[in-house]
Structure 1
Amino acid sequence: MKLTLRHFYSKCSLRAFLLLLFLTTACSKDGTSIEKEIEKEGITIADADKIPLVNINTNGATIPDEPKIDAEVTVSEKGEITFVNNIGIEIRGSSSQMFPKKSYGFETRDENNEDIDLPFLGFPEEEDWILYAPYSDKTLVRNKLIFDLARDLGGYASRTEFVELDLNGSYKGVYVLMEKIKRNAFRVDINKLKTDENTGEDLTGGYILKIDKTTGTLGGELNELNSFTSPYLPNNASTTQTIAFQYEYPKAEDITSEQRTYISDYVTQFENALASDDFMDPDMGYNAYIDADSFVDFFLLNELSNNVDGYRLSTFMYKDKNEKLKMGPIWDFNLAFGNADYCGGGAYDVWAYRFNERCSEDYWLVPFWWDRLLQDPSFLAKVKTRWSELRGGVFAEGSIQSKLDGYINTLDKAGALETNFETWAIFGMYIWPNNYIGESHADEMGYMKSWISNRLDWLDQAIGDL
């Protein structure tokens, strides 16, 4: 295979990269510059078309699941080095760690190897970042799409950017740079809760909770220090499944006993109100505890994509000081849009919130909330009104398909589709939990586009019939 300038950038260390810049100004034997000679052969990628290259050097050290190890990151944009800095890096993910293409979490560090907030690839400054590795999602775009749609709805969702990753001189393919969910003025913008704020108004926020697997959890399993358990069993539970809420912010190791008691009592009061006979009462019912509009948007994003993990895994919620509980931000939709072959995950004509009916023996089930909320005519009216509004804009089929075409055009012009799938030759084979196995990227995109079209049509009817 002929090497382009882009391939040089992907394969070389920073020193080699700088050498290449020198070489491209040199001349060949006949006086033609090397750069011009390559262009003449039609194998270059224009600087303007390149997506960012993230080069990480660990000095040969293997990156573990945890803890983070020292490394250096160099970012090249449009052929120019724009960022060089120390980082700490580790492998991240749960079931995705089975794949050879690993996802990574990293934090920016100063010269003393202390965490430091810095802007990265144009995103607002923070210290914690994620390099998500699309692998079983052979379109490469599922997470990118849903996060863009979520921000278009007006709430916060992680900013994303396609990049290519070079790790210790080895090209690793297309990644998605993402913001980690954090309490921050530019991310989840809620009050910074201090350890001495344990009474009165101070105690009311901010908090971030999650329903998720225990990967990376303090203690390695659920316990009273890192989580609290709902007194309400999930609908259709067939064994001893429960719903646990993990402390995401403040972290389990930082949250005080008073803060644990406050937020666990608040969520339980919400659940009590939702389960009560007066659940529709505007003062005594669930509306006194939650921001219903955020629940509606969260519901519609999960249903639009039939997210097989929706509501039961990677599910975040937050509460600001003196505010009600809100759903979100959304997270981890790589198995959505028809990409899972279990529990109806590949179907376009089932409700994601009814997961428990299809897979009652799964360890992680959906809380009873969503069935109950949809029994309230007021909440149901909000769902129908919001769906109708979005179908005329953000959720219009043409708008969604245009986003997908834009992603693919960006990756194709950069040559990144070709080199990603040269590195990861996964077409025509089953990668857990694929519902569809295409022979090419075009096949995969065709399947996803057709699935979305069918899903939109089905939801138009299904939401109308609720």
Structure 2
Amino acid sequence: MKRIKKHTFYYGSLLILFSVLTFLGCSSDDGSPMQGTEGEEPGETIVSPEDKLPLITIRTNGAAILDEPKIDAEMTITTADVDSYTGKIGIEIRGASSQMFPKKSYGMETRDADNEDYDVSLFGFPEEEDWIFYGPYSDKTLVRNKLIYDLSREIDVYASRTVFAELNINDDYQGVYVFMEKLKRDGNRIDINKLKDDENSGEDLTGGYILKIDKTAGSNLGGGLNDQNSFTSSHAPMNSSMGQTIDFLYEYPDAEDITPEQKVYISDYVNQFENALASEDFADPELGYAAYMDVDSFIDFFLLNEISNNVDGYRLSTYMYKDKNEKLKMGPIWDFNLAFGNADYCSGGATNVWAYKFNERCSEDYWQVPFWWDRLLQDPVFVTALKARWNTLRGSTFSTGGIHDKIDGYVKTLKDAGAIASNFEKWDVLGTYVWPNNYIGNNYDGEISYLKNWIDDRLIWLDGAIDGL
């Protein structure tokens, strides 16, 4: 079993000094640093196999991992010191602004012996082929994305299933990662109809579709926003000052596969929804927005973004979908690493502002929030339903104590595994500004305390702000 040197150093004797120097130079047999936990007494601790995080080992046979395309590699997952999965994969670097960080995130697909896409169940998640290794870097708590996704699923709104793991690439330890499901059309993920390229009329044409408000990634048929990969809203974002527009990317079917008829249908549907929402009859249940959108999904999406004051909320990494013969739904949520007070711009660190009013604070930012949310909150029926949902959730999933318990559970899992010490040995960022940190803690416990205190203040403010709508 792995022996782990402790992190509290006492310099009263040469023996302890020698132990510290030995610790700094050691690595374990699996290529990861010797692990430890802050605040313990000098000595050695044995981490039992069941307390270790799963270790994901990737071997690329000398090839560099690129932004795209995916390269061939092999993956082994070791759980409790036992290899629980071994197989071929394709892997690439993923992300947009996060690619500036030295700790990369990766997209991965599982493959069979013939190197073809292959659905498998990993960590007990439903079988699929597309997965993500998310590497928290600017989020020094390591838990923000996992927290919000867990909260979402607990209120019966699908979000990516996740598990903490450690990643090793070509014998180079990469730290703590969150292994998660990629958002895609699937019966166990975004559960909508599989729209075929020959379904171009009648009822078949009504779904399913996935749209996204986001930056473009990869070539995406020419790069940037264009009429091949997206369509533009006819309604300008409120309070914007630079002539910005809201654009909807074709996520499913994607830009390469969606047919002209399908483009026309989904863009017309969104346009009809926006026109109804902007009209004088917007609150009419038959003529207004409710005829086009699933109200409950919009409310839950709003609350998840507001509870975390997600500085990217509503304007980036924003998914929506429409199934066959159904209304437009918001979600699933995605990418909250800058939420919960972890951004120092546009009031991202504040606990007493509305996230949906981003445009008022940063009218010159290229990525703006659609007018939808201001308009919805002008309807007393929508506000009444929003208040009722908030009050219900505050008595259960969104209770202060319940959220604290979740965070404490994550921290215990990471500390019991010695993974916090290992991660920050690899990435020495504690006490250092990493864009766009609003708070810089001197140690990991300080980062966790900030997160908890921020959430406490946020919940109190939201209680009053929602009640006053």
**1:69 maps onto 2:63 in alignment:** no
Report the TM-score when normalising by structure 1: 0.92
Which consecutive unaligned segments of at least 5 residues does structure 1 have?
13-40
Contact 1:4 1:43 in 2 (8 A): no
- SS of 2:204's partner is helix
Contact 2:207 2:324 in 1 (8 A): yes
The 2-side partners of 1:459 and 1:257 are apart by 44
Match of 1:88 among 87, 90, 101: 90
The 2-side partners of 1:6 and 1:296 are apart by 49
How many residues are paired up?
Answer: 438
What pairs up with 1:134-283 in 2 under 5 angstroms?
A: 134-216=136-218, 217-283=220-286
Aligned to 2:306: 303
Contact 1:5 1:45 in 2 (8 A): no
- CA shift digits 1:312-344 (9 cap, x unpaired): 000000000000000000000000000000000
Give the AA of the match of 1:95: S
1:9, CA displacement in angstroms?
Answer: 2.6
What pairs up with 1:46-57 in 2 under 5 angstroms?
A: 46-57=48-59
Give the AA of the match of 1:69: I
Contact 1:211 1:243 in 2 (8 A): yes
Report the TM-score when normalising by structure 2: 0.92
- SS of 2:29's partner is helix
The 2-side partners of 1:2 and 1:368 are apart by 55
Contact 1:278 1:285 in 2 (8 A): yes
Give the AA of the match of 2:82: E
Contact 1:5 1:44 in 2 (8 A): no
- CA shift digits 1:262-312 (9 cap, x unpaired): 000000000000000000000000000000000000000000000000000
What pairs up with 1:373-412 in 2 under 5 angstroms?
A: 373-412=376-415
- SS of 1:83's partner is strand
Give the AA of the match of 1:332: D
Give the AA of the match of 1:62: A
The 2-side partners of 1:6 and 1:157 are apart by 36
Aligned to 1:346: 349
The 1-side partners of 2:96 and 2:408 are apart by 30
Deviates more, 1:165-174 or 1:112-121: 112-121
Aligned to 2:30: 9
Aligned to 1:313: 316
RMSD: 1.4
The 2-side partners of 1:4 and 1:177 are apart by 28
Give the AA of the match of 2:112: D
Aligned to 1:444: 447
1:7, CA displacement in angstroms?
Answer: 2.7
1:44, CA displacement in angstroms?
Answer: 2.4
Which consecutive unaligned segments of at least 5 residues does structure 2 have?
1-21, 34-42
The 2-side partners of 1:158 and 1:463 are apart by 27
The 2-side partners of 1:175 and 1:89 are apart by 15
- CA shift digits 1:348-400 (9 cap, x unpaired): 00000000000000000000000000000011111100000000000000000
The 1-side partners of 2:355 and 2:367 are apart by 14
Contact 1:55 1:74 in 2 (8 A): yes
1:6, CA displacement in angstroms?
Answer: 9.0
Aligned pair in 2 of structure 1 residues 416, 200: CA closer, same or farther (>3 Å)? same
- SS of 1:146's partner is helix
**1:415 maps onto 2:436 in alignment:** no
- CA shift digits 1:126-182 (9 cap, x unpaired): 111000000000000000000000001101100000000000000000000010001
Give the AA of the match of 1:390: L
- SS of 1:100's partner is coil
Give the AA of the match of 2:159: A
Contact 1:49 1:410 in 2 (8 A): yes
The 1-side partners of 2:262 and 2:47 are apart by 54
1:10, CA displacement in angstroms?
Answer: 3.8
Deviates more, 1:280-289 or 1:115-124: 115-124
The 2-side partners of 1:161 and 1:108 are apart by 17
The 2-side partners of 1:282 and 1:398 are apart by 38
Aligned to 2:6: none
- CA shift digits 1:67-124 (9 cap, x unpaired): 1000000000011000001001000000000000000001011111111111112111
Contact 2:294 2:329 in 1 (8 A): yes
**1:431 maps onto 2:452 in alignment:** no
1:4, CA displacement in angstroms?
Answer: 13
Match of 1:293 among 296, 304, 311: 296
The 1-side partners of 2:343 and 2:57 are apart by 32
The 1-side partners of 2:221 and 2:408 are apart by 42
Contact 1:57 1:73 in 2 (8 A): yes
Match of 1:43 among 42, 45, 55: 45
- SS of 2:30's partner is helix
Deviates more, 1:115-124 or 1:387-396: 115-124
1:51, CA displacement in angstroms?
Answer: 1.1
Aligned to 1:36: none
- CA shift digits 1:415-466 (9 cap, x unpaired): 1001001111101110000000000000000000000000000000000111
1:5, CA displacement in angstroms?
Answer: 12
Contact 2:94 2:106 in 1 (8 A): yes
The 2-side partners of 1:168 and 1:9 are apart by 10
- CA shift digits 1:2-47 (9 cap, x unpaired): 59999323449xxxxxxxxxxxxxxxxxxxxxxxxxxxx7432101
The 1-side partners of 2:429 and 2:129 are apart by 33
1:237, CA displacement in angstroms?
Answer: 1.3
Contact 2:32 2:422 in 1 (8 A): no
Aligned to 2:62: 60
The 1-side partners of 2:370 and 2:97 are apart by 22
Aligned pair in 2 of structure 1 residues 2, 430: CA closer, same or farther (>3 Å)? closer
- SS of 2:319's partner is strand
The 1-side partners of 2:103 and 2:197 are apart by 39
The 2-side partners of 1:299 and 1:6 are apart by 45
- SS of 1:8's partner is coil
Aligned to 1:20: none
Aligned to 1:18: none
Q: Name the % identity.
A: 66
Aligned to 1:128: 130
Give the AA of the match of 1:152: E
